[in-house]
Amino acid sequence: MAHIRRQKVALCGSGGFGRYIAQAILAADEWDLVILSRYSQPHLSQQGFSVKVVDYSDPEYLSAVLRNQRVHTVISVIPDPYVQLSLIDACVSAGVLRFVPSEFEASPSQQPLYTSGGRDRMTVRRHLEEVSDRLESTVFTCGLFMEYFVPGGWRDCGGGNWNDGTFLMDLKRKKAVLPVDSRGVPNAVVCVTSAGDVAQYVCGALNLGYWPPEMKMFGERLRLRDLLAIAQEVREREFKVKYLTEDDIDYNLSRAVADGDWKSQCELQTMQSINNQEYDVGHRDLNAIFPGIVPITFESFLRRYWRASAH
């Protein structure tokens, strides 16, 4: 029987969310995986991953790597717009068929840009549209990652993210800062999904014959007040809560911009998007396509990391 060569996925970025995707692809054992990294990663090689050191600033070099590796699909978890633009050009030149930009969480048209100038995520989206006849792409929308609420947040998950475990709710100190609607109620709907579950859906989608511009999923759909109630139940303590009106957020955001406080800008922009219902994913296409993936609930996820407060 002739040997059928498996298709190859190139994962750009190995920290944070990239680690979850790499593990999901390796566990599924349906695609070959190469991790493209700026640096050698001996610890990943020891775990059985193929790692290729690349220069993301050189599209021609990237193209040669992708061509030599015979890459079918590129998944980026590097949010830097310059890197992604270079990757897109390299994919087109190398004949790569599919590309996943680092555009997770909110829908593409709704995501906060988190930029103070220069090229941003809109530039990446526009460029993907320009090359759509040569490079198929999709965005995986999942709402907020549940990892925002683990001890240390995404930052301690290895992602270098602005989130340090204090956004919206600080379970360690039993405090919360929540945006409210015009009636002063934290009623905005937020979808939340664990990174591990998102990675499984992304891995499953690799086998789909057609990729629409966006594919959606979520673990649970809750109002902000429900997030707070679950966190208080897990910690068995009532939190000290501060509520921010739209005017409060606008004022604090202008100050954060003036002060160059990037972390506060990210938090406040995301609060604006949450209040505008932009993290309410709505339909969950991938949940229906892959019913065998049963995403973890928010309460079960929190209980993995937090115990009842002793004081």
Domain residue spans of the chain: 8-137, 144-193+220-282+295-305
19 phi, psi to nearest 5 deg: -65, -40
**Is domain 8-137 given the CATH code 3.40.50.720 in the classification?**
yes
Whole-angstrom distance, CA of residue 224 vs CA of residue 246: 15
Write out the DSSP string of 148-185: GGSTTHHIIIII--S--S-SSEETTTTEEEEE--TTS-
The confidence score (pLDDT) of residue 37 equals 87
- How far is CA 203 from each of CA 102, 270, 294, rounded to the nearest angstrom? 15, 27, 14
Query: Is there a contact between 197 and 53 (Cβ–Cβ < 8 Å)?
Result: no
Query: Do 8-137 and 144-193+220-282+295-305 come out as alike in CATH topology?
Result: no
- In whole angstroms, what is the distance from residue 31 CA to residue 205 CA? 12
Residue 299 reports pLDDT greater than 90: yes
Is the confidence at residue 120, as pLDDT, over 90? no
Q: Residue 137: in which H helix or E strand, if any?
A: strand 136-137
Report which secondary-structure segment, H or E, holds 257: helix 246-259
Q: Is 144-193+220-282+295-305 a CATH 3.40.50.150 domain?
A: no
Q: Are 32 and 49 in contact (CB under 8 A)?
A: no
* 246 has a pLDDT exceeding 50: yes
Residue 24 — pLDDT band, cuts 50, 70, 90?
very high
In the prediction, which pLDDT does 164 show? 85
For the chain, what percent of residues have pLDDT higher than 70?
91
Handedness of CA 67, 72, 154, 121 (dihedral sign): positive
% of the chain surpassing 90 pLDDT: 66
> For residue 248, is pLDDT > 90?
yes
H helices present in 95-158, as ranges: 121-130, 153-154
pLDDT at 116: 40
